[in-house]
Structure 1
Amino acid sequence: MKRTILLTTLLLLVTAAQAQRIHAYVAAGATVSQVEGDELKGFKKWGGIAGVGAMVRLSENGRWKMSVEADFAQRGFRNNTRNPYNVNLTLNYIDIPVAFHFHDNKGGLEVGAGILYGRLVRQPHGEIDHISTFIPDSTDMTFLKNDFAALLDLRFTVWRGLQLNLRFQYSLIPIKKDWKFSEYENESQIQNDNPNVWYNNCRNISIGVRLIYEFGTGDDNGIIGKRSKKRR
């Protein structure tokens, strides 16, 4: 699976490089996330994100672009009270996002949308604790290996190749299926062992804030453009 991801990424980059101009970039920042279906509310889990990417110009005026990245990203969920339960779990992913962007040449704003494939490289690690009347099933905290998400991307040019990036992403498929929750309304239910039981499918939701540095943006022709010009 890892080889397939790498080969697919390389194929996209090579194909794009043959057709249009391309700029490499590096990115690093932080994420705040939550898991839909965990019976908690709010973006409370902080993590890190870092990676490399390539931005490909799809039009001569540079307004339409495509990006491909390889990122290490942390997601998860956190709640620091026992209402309804205490948890702090981290999910480590290798992400391959592919997005199409529209660049405003006058204002320096770039708007993008795309899809992301995430591969879970480490199962949840951390802690989980609960009260006697609300019980998330922690006997099997195995999450699914694959995550496919839709993403929205905003980039603001700060100075030359330096950009501020905001990214929102939402899982299109569950990252955990049929997570069991049990709740007792009162002590008599506990004594009778007769809880209310339900099952949730869970999805990642995260917001990323990053700094991006794109190389070669001072040259309108880009890396590939330079080579093409020399050949002429």
Structure 2
Amino acid sequence: MPRPADTRPADTPTAPTVPALPPVADQAERLVALGVHELAGLPAEELRAEAARLAADLPGPGHPRGPGQQAEALLVVSSRLVPPSALAPLMRLPVRGGERSGFVVEDMTDVDDFAPVDGIEVPEGPLYLVLSPDRGDDLANWSPEEALPELARRGRSPLLLAEGVHWALQAPGVVADNHCYMTIGSRRRKDDGRLDSRTPAVWISRGTGRDGRERRGAPKVGWCWAGNRHTWLGFASATGRRG
């Protein structure tokens, strides 16, 4: 598929470097510090032990890399235990004089109904790893409908919304001005079986509309139409998942 025409201004700044993920053990400590284990109904020691088991089975230094990809692993608590609506308020971004907490946009009250699309198999355990996450900056200005087959062609799997929020918890700088990401592995099915036209994303509020000025600069979970293009949204993906 040819790349859609790039309509971004010529002076658009170079994408900021995607921050490296901490070791899996450190990610487990981060989740405990945020209280995610309590939301999941897991003792802290159980979360740590499960994270250690997963880390011990990680691919070695020979794990394949691709352009702009990191041979890393993101620790994720199953959304069956902690849905995106509970995780989103734990996101943080710095602003002048402090920081802003994350939120879900007001017209996405059904955020937890967004489920993996066909072809994505999520490990069954309480925790799992997402391998080599990539923000997909090079796909900015593609629509979700255009990006999904391209990711498949590259042998990559689109991130689920909960995975995208976990990434923001562990590496807040991955959500950057004009360089945010969609998580098109999650879609909501209507009663008739068809996909809802909305596709979820993680980006930064400008404090307009129903977001409110007090949320300017806050990380947020929102949505975009499946056929629309946005120059400031890439498509987050991974090489796979391991449980």
Which structure dedicates a bigger proportion of its chain to helix? 2
So what's the TM-score if we normalise by structure 2?
A: 0.27
Which of these two proteins has the greater Rg computed from alpha carbons? 1
So what's the TM-score if we normalise by structure 1?
A: 0.28
Task: Point out which structure has higher relative CO (alpha carbons under 8 A, 6+ apart).
Answer: 2
